[in-house]
């Protein structure tokens, strides 16, 4: 998207908030704002990783490394809409049906647009160290901080997500994050039960969308009790916050160098393959995140020697490109595939994806002519609900290929994840509406076992 077009749409989002009718509630404005921002970022495209880490429960604290805005993105009165925090709110609305409550700084006296905008959104306001109006009494700052704690606790107890940056300032990606302040960590440690803290790592939001890829990675949540902190006055608090801050810097650096060639993941998988003592008679699971996240394969299939070579976000072409490197020393008796779902994001038709899967399966067969190939059908998901008919066409197309290929067997996962009314079962997916949860994997295991019992002898 061209910067001029992007700016026009940002200004439209800004005007919708400050021009909202006075009888419109802040919650209504926040939801509408999140929907508009979501639509904008859909046009741009954001690389999102780690959505499987989103907690089921509401009332979590989402922290992020706050990034600068590009200086050209001014929507009014020298005011800039913060792209990173707005993106997070839109993402939370997608996954939880509510954008949550953000923590934003008070405006300076000359920042009229800033004040109007965030007043209408009804966010929690705090004094940021570098943005305190001259003459503000320390007592006022102390009282306002107390109000922040009280409201934040109340929102969390009402199952509202809280979104804040622990830095209180914004940085360029390469210098991000800055030093963390204790505020939100003290807040979390003071509550009983303690809320989960979900780290969201961001990169490149300070750049114009035409010239950089916006990236987001959701890391595993934690509680302050995981660090042994149960009291905000604990003497170890400063060191724990510093430790979290240092870990965050590593996450940002790693996200910056991550690319669609999956080089780091492939290196890990090559090492895993090389360290596998049983190189022969293997059942190798190969595919995208539904395979990668299946972390108990050997436990699920004790009668077989299994190896997991899945990597998240894999497309058919990336699985093809890395196939020889990953399988060069292996002698599998069977290969279980899960592929094609991510390719839906590339704008490919069902026929194109069917043809690519067919070509990939044929390549695998040529490499290992005696191996049995199983293909798991693309699962239904809320994240791709508008593409369910396309997914069904793909699954049917691959099934027809399997009927003509004695070495290929289709495992019907799609149908197994629907209820009696042919609707997607919500109890089989993680909070992101895309990845399988424990029950989902139990169903997948059952479907795979049925196929193994029919077509695959147990290992010696």
Task: Quote the pLDDT of residue 226.
Answer: 97
pLDDT at 374 over 60: yes
Highest mean pLDDT among 72-76, 167-171, 196-200, 330-334: 196-200
Task: Quote the pLDDT of residue 460.
Answer: 59
Same fold, 3-257 and 263-455: no
Task: Quote the pLDDT of residue 387.
Answer: 93
Cβ–Cβ < 8 Å for 297, 445: no
CATH, range 3-257: 3.40.1130
Tell me the sheet residues that pair with 305.
282
- pLDDT (mean) for 160-168: 93
Closest CA to 348 of 390, 290, 312: 390
> Per-residue confidence at 137, pLDDT binned at 50, 70, 90?
confident
Window from 129-138, 307-316, 340-349 with minimum mean pLDDT: 129-138
Q: List the strands of the sheet with 46-49, edge to edge.
A: 46-49, 214-218, 197-203, 61-64, 162-164, 101-105, 124-126
Phi-psi region of 192 (alpha: psi -120 to 50; beta: other; left: phi over 0): beta
pLDDT at 58 over 60: yes
What stretch of H or E contains 104?
Answer: strand 101-105
- pLDDT (mean) for 280-293: 93
Window from 16-25, 166-175, 182-191 with minimum mean pLDDT: 166-175
C-alpha count within 13 angstroms, C-beta hemisphere, residue 134:
1
Task: Quote the pLDDT of residue 258.
Answer: 64
DSSP secondary structure code for residue 96 in this structure: H
> Per-residue confidence at 102, pLDDT binned at 50, 70, 90?
very high
> Per-residue confidence at 134, pLDDT binned at 50, 70, 90?
confident
Burial 313-347, CB ≥16 within 10 A → b, else e? bbbbebbbebbeebbeebebbbbbbbbbbbbbeee
Task: Quote the pLDDT of residue 277.
Answer: 66
- pLDDT (mean) for 324-339: 94
- pLDDT (mean) for 347-372: 96
Contacts with 265 (C-beta within 8 Å, 6 or more apart), sequence order: 311, 312
Question: What share of the chain in percent tops pLDDT 90?
Answer: 71
Closest CA to 448 of 289, 285, 272: 285
- pLDDT (mean) for 151-177: 93
CA–CA distance, 336 with 342 (Å, rounded to integer): 17
Task: Quote the pLDDT of residue 260.
Answer: 55
CA–CA distance, 306 with 284 (Å, rounded to integer): 6
Beta strands 214-218 and 46-49, pairing class: parallel
CATH class of the domain defined by 263-455: alpha beta
Backbone CA torsion sign across 446, 448, 451, 452: negative
Highest mean pLDDT among 26-30, 106-110, 168-172, 207-211: 26-30
> Per-residue confidence at 140, pLDDT binned at 50, 70, 90?
confident
pLDDT at 259 over 60: no
Place of tokens 């969201």: 200
Task: Quote the pLDDT of residue 261.
Answer: 62
C-alpha count within 13 angstroms, C-beta hemisphere, residue 275:
8
> Per-residue confidence at 432, pLDDT binned at 50, 70, 90?
confident
Name the residue ranges covered by the structural domains of the chain.
Answer: 3-257, 263-455
- pLDDT (mean) for 136-162: 86
């Amino acid at each position: 998207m061209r910067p001029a077009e992007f700016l026009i749409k940002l200004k439209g989002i800004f005007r919708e908030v400050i021009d909202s009718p006075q009888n419109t509630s802040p919650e209504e404005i926040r939801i509408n704002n999140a929907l508009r921002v979501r639509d904008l970022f859909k046009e741009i495209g954001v690389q999102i990783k780690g959505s499987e880490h989103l907690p089921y429960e509401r009332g979590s604290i989402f922290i992020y490394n706050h990034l600068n805005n590009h200086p050209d993105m001014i929507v009014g009165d020298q005011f800039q809409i913060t792209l990173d925090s707005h993106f997070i709110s839109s993402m939370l609305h997608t996954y939880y049906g509510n954008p949550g409550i953000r923590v934003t700084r008070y405006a300076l006296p000359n920042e009229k647009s800033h004040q109007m905008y965030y007043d209408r959104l009804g966010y929690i306001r705090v004094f940021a160290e570098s943005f305190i109006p001259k003459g503000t009494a320390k007592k006022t700052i102390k009282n306002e901080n107390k109000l922040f704690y009280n409201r934040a606790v109340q929102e969390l107890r009402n199952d509202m997500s809280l979104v804040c940056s622990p830095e209180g300032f914004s940085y360029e990606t390469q210098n991000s994050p800055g030093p963390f302040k204790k505020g939100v960590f003290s807040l979390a440690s003071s509550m009983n039960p303690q809320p989960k803290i979900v780290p969201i790592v961001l990169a490149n939001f300070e750049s114009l969308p035409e010239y950089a890829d916006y990236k987001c990675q959701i890391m595993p949540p934690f509680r302050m009790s995981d660090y042994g902190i149960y009291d905000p006055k604990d003497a170890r608090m400063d060191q724990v916050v510093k430790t979290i801050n240092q870990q965050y810097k590593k996450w940002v650096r790693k996200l910056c160098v991550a690319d669609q060639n999956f080089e780091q993941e492939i290196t890990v998988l090559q090492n895993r393959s090389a360290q596998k003592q049983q190189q022969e008679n293997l059942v190798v699971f190969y595919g995208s995140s539904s395979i990668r996240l299946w972390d108990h394969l050997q436990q699920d299939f004790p009668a077989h020697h299994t190896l997991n070579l899945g990597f998240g976000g894999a497309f058919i072409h990336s699985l093809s490109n890395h196939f020889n490197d990953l399988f060069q020393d292996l002698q599998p008796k069977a290969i279980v595939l899960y592929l094609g779902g991510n390719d839906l994001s590339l704008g490919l038709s069902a026929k194109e994806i069917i043809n690519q899967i067919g070509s990939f399966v044929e390549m695998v067969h040529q490499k290992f002519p005696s191996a049995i190939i199983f293909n798991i059908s693309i699962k239904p998901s809320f994240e791709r609900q508008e593409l369910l008919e396309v997914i069904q066409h793909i699954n049917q197309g691959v099934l027809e290929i399997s009927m003509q290929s004695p070495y290929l067997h289709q495992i019907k996962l799609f149908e197994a994840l629907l209820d009696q009314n042919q609707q997607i079962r919500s109890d089989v997916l993680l909070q992101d509406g895309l990845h399988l949860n424990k029950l989902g994997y139990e169903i997948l295991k059952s479907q795979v076992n049925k196929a193994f019992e029919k077509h695959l002898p147990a290992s010696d």
